[in-house]
Structure 1
Amino acid sequence: MVGFIIQFADHFLTDANKAALAFRSFVEKDRPDFVSETSTSLVSVFIAADPLHDDYHGVEEWIQNALSSRNWYHAPLPEGRRLFEIPCVFGTDLAPRLHDAAQAVGLHIDDAIAELTATRSMVFTIGYAPGQPYTGLLEKHWDLPRLSQLNPLVPAGALVTAIRQLIIFSGPTPTGWWHIGQTAFRCFQPQREPVFALRPGDEIQYRAVGVADLQEFENNNENGLGGAIVDIIS
């Protein structure tokens, strides 16, 4: 297999991320026969060429023409994006790092929760673990460094933050990110179709709920969405 990587920046920028999502959507919409697979990372698009296609110079020329056809940094995001309103318990014993995180960013806990629930964060990419979303961005004062010591284990559905981003963990894992919330949302469900609940370009907004509410969502979670409400953005 021959692959091509199209990089829209040498470090993370939201405009570069949007350009990558828009360009991949364009390739998938008018997918030439020689394209066997595409994917995105934070600022890049990967295009895999069919191994039976031997005109790789022609593939490269097609990619160059597609790139020059418009300003991808100003291109619209893909259609079919969705908004997930996800119930979340902030703090308590379920998410013990909220107090420390709020203190580190100079906010009272209530104000920190208000900011977190007011933010609509976009899914930049899926990675690290199956279905796991990297989302953001929070305000600049949320540019928290990763913790100096690993939390040995946070559960599936944990909401964590660092470097202005938010992640919902798709499974139990150690982490150096700040565990500030807990959801019943399941990013990865291998027994369902699609197995990944979220796609790059989707958006998430959190709704603060109590521990009893979260337990109810856990107990009645056949679809794995943990009480989330889903609306179409575009």
Structure 2
Amino acid sequence: MTDMSFPELRTVGLDGMLISFGDTLSEPANRAALAFRAAVEREGWDGVEETSTSLVSAFVRFDPLHLTHETLRARLKELLQSADWMAADLPEGRRFFRIPTVFGTDRAPQLAEAAEAAGLSEQEAIRSLSEARVRALTIGFAPGQPYLGELPDDWDIPRQQALTRSVPKGAVVVAIRQLVLFSVSTPTGWRHVGQTAFRLFRPDSDTPFVLRPGDEVQFVATEPDKLANMETDPDGGAEWEVIA
């Protein structure tokens, strides 16, 4: 059943508009946010200065001295009415990354705990996580860091009650049917289940954020010694292809 209260268009501060397609994460709402942002970009409206997305919303920042709130609101409403955004095609230019990942061992020591919370054996958990093809739903928290999902229902597990003091960059953590691939070393309340050598944030590159919202990722199981041999490669042995 469709929630008739969405999409919702709201003013944010003096120079922002937020278009929300849901109040909880779902594949259709995330699809809508990504597709609608791409549509706004294609319109190329003079006065729009920036667009971005969160899990279920698109944000438009504009110059209110050049483009009035009333004009932008009218244009956004017209664009919203032009398509079924929940069923829209995802943006073009998306890529599919296969990233070698060590699951468990001392490199990712909370796999067993996460597997138990999901009601799976460790081998079942590795198979489930390594076979999943997840979408970069949004980028946030740290530079270039993706929230990836959604995983099968088994992985609707809560965050920890206490923080892990630090996980390394390249760590794969899990909670609430999502994975996060860390771009920096940081504390986390999510369980550390996998480790990669993939560098998400490359400040000296022309494209410092490697993954973009809408890209897809598979964390391919590999052995610790093989991962160690990839750690001098910024891609960490990853391969990618354009899918749209």
For Structure 1 versus Structure 2, the TM-score category normalised by the shorter chain is: over 0.9
Following TM superposition, by how much is the alpha carbon of 1:206 offset from its aligned partner in structure 2, in angstroms? 1.1
SS at match of 2:184: coil
- Residue 74 (structure 1) aligns with: 87
Task: Name the residue aligned to 1:229.
Answer: 239
Q: Greater CA deviation, 3-12 or 171-180?
A: 3-12
Contact 1:34 1:59 in 2 (8 A): no
- Tell me the TM-score normalised to structure 2 length: 0.92
Q: CA deviation at 1:54?
A: 4.5
Indicate if the aligned counterparts of 1:155 and 1:169 stay in contact, CA closer than 8 A: yes
Preserved CA contact (<8 Å) 1:218 1:226: yes
2:218 and 2:113 mapped to 1: Cα distance? 22
2:103–2:221 contact (8 Å) kept in structure 1: yes
DSSP 3-state at the match of 2:231: helix
In structure 2, stretches of 5+ residues that fail to align are: 1-13
Residue 203 of structure 1 corresponds to: 216
Counterpart for residue 59 of structure 1: 72
Q: Which runs of 5+ in 1 are unaligned?
A: none
For the 8 Å contact 2:34–2:214, the answer to whether it is kept is yes
Task: Map residues 1-234 of structure 1 onto 2, 5 A cutoff.
Answer: 2-219=15-232, 221=233, 224-234=234-244
CA RMSD of aligned residues (A): 1.0
Scaled by the length of structure 1, what TM-score is found?
0.96
Question: Aligned in 2, Cα 1:193/1:54: closer, same or farther, shift over 3 Å?
Answer: closer
Q: Deviations over 1:47-92 (max 9, x none)?
A: 1112431532111111111111111111100001100000000101
The 2-side partners of 1:124 and 1:114 are apart by: 22
Asked if the contact 1:41/1:125 (under 8 Å) is kept, the reply is yes
Name whichever of 27-36 and 155-164 sits farther off. 27-36
Deviations 1:24-62 (A, max 9, x none): 001112211121110100111111112431532111111
Equivalent pairs, count: 231
Conserved? CA contact 1:86–1:226, under 8 Å: yes
